[in-house]
Structure 1
Amino acid sequence: MTDAAPPEQPRNPLHGLTLEAIVTALADHYGWEGLGERIPVRCFNVDPSVGSSLRFLRKTPWAREKVESLYLFMLREERRAGRG
C-alpha cells in the first residue's frame, strides 16, 4: 500500500478544527471572563486575546487538553439545548 492516508477519525468533532477556531468559539460562547473561570490560566484572565492564548496553548499540552475538553462539553450543551 503506497498511500499514506491520514487515519480515519469517524465522529471526532475536533477533526479538521484549528486551535484558533476552538478558542474563538469558546470565547464567543463563554466570554473571556467565563473562559478564565472555567480554565484558570493567565492567557484567559490577564489581557486575553486569541493570539496570546494560542501561543500559550501550543506550548502547554495540559492546558490545550482542558480547552479541547471544554469545547466538547460546550458542543454537548448546545446539542441538548437544541433538543429541549
Structure 2
Amino acid sequence: MWHATSQNKKSIKDYEEEILNRIDDIDDEEKIKPTKQDVLAMIIAGFQVIFPIVLIGAGSLFLLTLFFTKIFLR
C-alpha cells in the first residue's frame, strides 16, 4: 500500500490550485466567440429537440379532445 501513496506528495489543495491556475491560463489565452453559423446551429439543434415534443403534445391533445367529444357529445 505504501507504494501507491508514496508518490503522491502533493495535497489535494495543491492539486486544486494547480488545476484552477491551468483553467485560468486557458481562459485567458483563448476566448471563445461564437459566430453566426454557430448560433444558427444551436437554434436548429434546439428545434430538433423541442419540435418533436411539441408535436407529440399537440397530437395527444387532439386525440384526447376527439375521444371525449365522440363519447360525451353523442
Greater share of helix: 2
With a CA cutoff of 8 Å and minimum separation of 6, indicate the structure with the bigger relative contact order. 1
- Return the TM-score normalized by structure 1: 0.28
**Bigger CA radius of gyration:** 2
- Return the TM-score normalized by structure 2: 0.32
